[in-house]
Structure 1
Amino acid sequence: MSILTIRGLRGGYSEVDILNGIDLDLDDGEILTVAGTNGAGKSTLAKAIVGLLPRSSGTISFMGKDIMPLSAEARMGLGMGYVPQVANVFANLSILENLQVVAGSSRQRIDELFETFPLLAERRRMRAGSLSGGERQQLAFARALVPKPRLMLLDEPTAALSPNKVADSFALIRRLPSLGVSVLIVEQRARQSLAISNRGCILDSGLVALEGDAKTLLADEKAAELYLGNIGASH
């Protein structure tokens, strides 16, 4: 069953479209990687889905509901979680305070997340700004999981990580469907991301150039030559 259905999605930040008519589906319980070269429209697509793109047209349905007229806040309220590439935690607050801001008085939910992220539990009093890149990414994921979303959109989740932490991040993402969360990842490390995904989508100039089973895309010589050759090797 499709949890996210996109048809004819166009949009951008000024009069020029960055997205030029995207059709895309994400099934419930699935991990989908969106890859492509710089400027292909990957992060713009994520922003359009969560309602942060200033100008967009087409249709986006989430769990069968048309969400195009809805604000970003309303979309989050329906069960979307979003982890942007930057500014994804409150640096001046502790780990615990970052979660409390989202959870309100729900101590039970925070305790559940500390079980999922034991490292955060150990360091709950530490200020988020003092965390390593990998620890901060864990906190960003935990914050997004507080409202129990059905869909998580991750924008370049490994961009700020040291190479030895990248595998940890992908291992964490791979666990999300077991928590009841479908995942759409925008990622430059395309090969590694596809390796943990069910399906992949490659954008080129704001259009879907290739789409299909992740393993098939990894084995596709055309995809490798045009889109996957150096993606992920430069970070």
Structure 2
Amino acid sequence: MLKIENMTGGYGEVDILKGIDLTLEAGEILTVAGTNGAGKSTLAKAVVGLLPRVGGRVLLSGEDITKVPAERRARTGIGYVPQTANVFSSLTIVENLEVVEGVKDRKARMAEMFDLFPALAGRRRSRAGSLSGGERQQLAFARALMTKPPVIVLDEPTAALSPIMADESFSRIKALAGTGTAVLLIEQRARQALEISHRGAIMDGGKVALEGEARTLLADERAAELYLGVGH
């Protein structure tokens, strides 16, 4: 579904990403973990077309989209939930969903989103800026899912959430993959993320230091000590 080949790039002349190779299949959750500054969020931006300078290739269902601008990538099948600024605070919940382009049968799709996120349904006329952190995250998810993207990139979706809300978010991500959506999950709560994932990749210094099945990484003592945090 998604293939990243020898990806390099950054914001200036120095590469933050230093040769990333990853694949993601339909219905699969791939967690990308690592220490702060490892390049995880930079990778997410490169995949969705928001990194100023990128080398290598990004393929979506076999099509090279490396040169495709971000707005067209969203229309062709990559959803994105950034860590911050992921909703329009001055707009209502309904308006946040209405501004998404490329939605077929918008009314029916919005109804599906309110069924999926019932906490939003009762507040649909509330401005997004008045929502709690968990509600804002749900709205960000709903916005990204409006176009039924085959691939969704989630950048730190549990950041600043309470443990209970984080658990709910992970359950929602697992259910999403169950519908066939491929999920690229960038996450600091690495151990919890890997517990719901099929595979994992641990970045260090802009490179993939470890990669494999999620259960294998969870059992890897070196990974636990250096990257996952024992007991976290």
Q: TM-score range by the shorter chain?
A: over 0.9
Identify unmatched segments of 5+ residues in structure 2: none
Match of 2:100 among 99, 102, 109: 102
Structure 1 residue ranges (4+ consecutive) displaced by more than 4 angstroms after TM superposition: none
* Counterpart residue number, 1:45: 43
Q: CA deviation at 1:49?
A: 0.5
- Aligned to 2:142, what secondary structure does the other structure show? helix
* Counterpart residue number, 2:132: 132
Identify unmatched segments of 5+ residues in structure 1: none
- Aligned to 2:99, what secondary structure does the other structure show? helix
* Counterpart residue number, 1:57: 55
How many angstroms apart in 2 are the aligned matches of 1:160 and 1:131? 14
TM value normalised by structure 2: 0.96
* Counterpart residue number, 2:205: 205
Do the aligned residues in 1 keep the contact of 2:57 with 2:66 (CA within 8 Å)? yes
- Aligned to 1:102, what secondary structure does the other structure show? coil
RMSD value, Cα: 1.4
* Counterpart residue number, 2:228: 228
Is 1:165–2:198 an aligned residue pair? Answer: no
- Aligned to 1:140, what secondary structure does the other structure show? helix
How many angstroms apart in 2 are the aligned matches of 1:39 and 1:213? 23
The CA deviation string for residues 131-160 of structure 1, in whole angstroms up to 9 with x for no partner, is 111111000000000011000000000112
* Counterpart residue number, 2:28: 30
TM value normalised by structure 1: 0.94
Instruction: Please list, as runs of the form range in 1=range in 2, the aligned pairs for 1:67-82 lying within 5 A after superposition.
Output: 67-82=65-80
Q: CA deviation at 1:163?
A: 2.3
How many angstroms apart in 2 are the aligned matches of 1:204 and 1:18? 10
Q: CA deviation at 1:7?
A: 1.2
How many angstroms apart in 1 are the aligned matches of 2:166 and 2:109? 27
Instruction: Please list, as runs of the form range in 1=range in 2, the aligned pairs for 1:79-90 lying within 5 A after superposition.
Output: 79-90=77-88
Count residues with an aligned counterpart: 230
How many angstroms apart in 1 are the aligned matches of 2:177 and 2:165? 21
